Structure 1
Amino acid sequence: MSGNEFEPVAIARRGLMLVLSSPSGAGKTTISRALLADDDGLTMSISATTRRPRPAEAHGRDYYFVDPEEFGLMINRRELLEHAKVFDHYYGTPREPVEQALSDGRDVLFDIDWQGTQQLKQQAREDLVSIFILPPSTLELERRLTQRAQDPADVVARRMSKAADEISHWAEYDYVLVNEDVGRCLAQVKAILTAERLKRERQPGLLDFVKALREGY
C-alpha cells in the first residue's frame, strides 16, 4: 500500500426501509426497478397478496400469492408489518425477512400505498424513509396509464378516480417529488437514500470507531 492509499472504513450500519408511493402510473415501479438494478445494498420487499398472478409473475419472486383465508391467518399471527385492501385484493408485508435485513445492515425498498405507509410508521418510524411521487399533471397520468396497455379501459378509469384520494396524502411523507423526467426523479431518490444512510443514528458502529480514534488507533 502506498502512502496515499487507505483501506475503506467499514462502520456498522442499521438498514432502513425506503418507501416509494404514488398514484398508479406516476412512475414508482419504473424508479424502483432502476434503483434495484443500480444498488446492491438495496433489496425489494416481497408482498403477500390475495390477487391472482399476472403473466410472467412468479410466487416468491414478485409476490407471495396466498388465498384470503391464509392472508387472514397471517394478520392474526401478527406476521405482517402492514396490510391493506387495494382494488378488491389484499396486500401485506411479511415481517420476518424485513426485520432480518435491517439487522444485517441491508436496506429494504417498499412499493406500497399510503395505507401501508401509515402502518409502517406505527411499527417502525425510526427505520422509515418515505417518498411520495407526484405526476406532472392529471393528463400526463392518464396518458401513462393508457400507454402502458396493462389494464382495460374500465380499470384505467378506476385508477384515475382513485388518484385524487391517493394524492391527498402527500403531506404524510418525508419527501415529495414530481416525476416529470424519470432520470431526474431517479437521481433525486438516490440523493435522498445516500443522505439517509449517512445519518448518525443509522450508524451504531460510529461509537466504537470514534472511541478508537480518540484512543489513537
Structure 2
Amino acid sequence: MLFIVSGPSGVGKSTLVNRVIARVPNLVYSVSYTTRPQRPTEVEGRDYYFVSRREFERMREAGELIEWAEVYGYLYGRSRAAIERELEAGRDVILSIDVQGAAALRKLSWPVVSIFILPPSFDVLAERLRARKTDAWPSVEHRLSIAREEVWHYRDFDYVIINDRLEDALALLEAIILAERHRRERLEEDLRPVLHTFERSDRVEES
C-alpha cells in the first residue's frame, strides 16, 4: 500500500512520518527529489535528493517521476521506479507530500490511503513556522497565506488528524496504518490457509 500524508507547511508531516516508520514494521519512506537548497540539518538521501533544476526537468521529461509539483518556487517529485520496487517487495510505502502531489497520487491504480494533517488552529501553525527558524518572515507569511487555502483540501482525503499533541497524532497515524493493513480484502491470501483447516472432513481427530 501507498500511504500519503499531506497538510500545510509546518503542520508536522515529516516529524509524524519519521516517527511512525520507527514504530511500524515493513513500512518505508519514499524520499523525494527537489531543487530546493539543502538546509543545514538535512541529509542527502534521507530527507531529500537535492538536484539541479536541469536534472529535475530531465527526469520529468524522461517519465521517471510518478508525480511532481512546484511549491514555493522549487520543484519536488518522486521516482516511480523506487516506489514500485518497494511495493513489489511487499513493503508499504509512506510519504509526506503537498496537496498537489497528493491529488496526482490518488489517481494511481495502486492502493492508496490518504491522510491529511491539520494544526489545532491558524495561530498555532504560525507559531510553529516561526519557531522552525528556517525561513525569513516574508516566506513564513507566504506559507501561511497558502495554508489558508490548503486546509480546505481535507475533504479530499480518507482520514484527517489534528496534530495538537504529537504523541496523540502519532498514535492515530499508526492506528490508521495498522487498520488499513487488516482490511478483509487485503488479507484474503493470508486467510486461505487458516480457513482451509475448517473445511468439512469426515474425520475429527480425538484429543
Q: Normalized against structure 1, the TM-score is what?
A: 0.85
Q: Which residue of 2 aligns with 1:77?
A: 62
For 1:158, the equivalent position in structure 2 comes to 142
2:47 corresponds to: 62
CA distance in 1 between counterparts of 2:134 and 2:61 reads 34
Alpha-carbon distance in 2 for matches of 1:36, 1:207: 26
Count of residues paired in the alignment:
201
SS in 1 for 2:197: helix
Alignment partner of 1:129: what SS? strand
The range that moved more, 186-195 or 24-33, is 24-33
> Equivalent residues in 2 for 1:181-200 (5 A)?
181-200=165-184
- Structure 2, unmatched stretches of 5+, are 201-207
Shift of residue 30 of structure 1? 1.6
Q: Which amino acid aligns with 2:145?
A: S
- Aligned partner of 1:144: which letter? R
TM-score, normalised to structure 2, is 0.89
2:36 alignment partner in structure 1? 51
1:133 corresponds in structure 2 to: 117
Does residue 149 in structure 1 map to residue 133 in structure 2? yes
- SS of the aligned residue for 2:106 comes to helix
Contact 1:130–1:173 at 8 Å: present in 2 too? Answer: yes
Moved more, 48-57 or 110-119: 48-57
Residues in 2 aligned to 1:94 and 1:121: alpha-carbon distance in whole angstroms: 16
Unaligned ranges ≥5, structure 1? 1-15
Trace 1:1-80 onto structure 2 (pairs within 5 A): 16-80=1-65
Q: Is the 8 A contact 2:24 2:174 kept in 1?
A: no
Q: For residue 211 of structure 1, report the CA deviation from its aligned partner.
A: 6.3
**SS of the residue aligned with 1:169?**
helix
Which aligned segments of 4 or more residues in structure 1 are displaced greater than 4 angstroms?
none
Partner AA of 1:53 in structure 2: Q
- In structure 1, how many angstroms separate the alpha carbons of the residues matched to 2:165 and 2:84? 33
The share of aligned pairs that are identical, in percent, is 41
CA contact (8 A) 2:119 2:163 kept: yes
SS at the partner of 1:59?
A: coil
Q: Are residue 113 (structure 1) and residue 98 (structure 2) matched?
A: yes
Greater displacement, 81-90 / 52-61: 52-61
- Say what the alpha-carbon RMSD is for the aligned residues: 1.9
Q: Which moved more, 1:49-58 or 1:38-47?
A: 49-58
In the aligned structure 2, how far is the partner of 1:19 from the partner of 1:75? 21
Q: Which moved more, 1:65-74 or 1:109-118?
A: 65-74
The yes-or-no answer on 1:179 pairing with 2:163 is yes
Supply the distance in 1 between the matched residues of 2:150 and 2:28 (Cα, whole angstroms).
25
Give the whole-Å Cα distance in 1 for the aligned partners of 2:185 and 2:64. 27
Q: Which residue of 1 aligns with 2:204?
A: none
SS of corresponding position for 1:205: helix
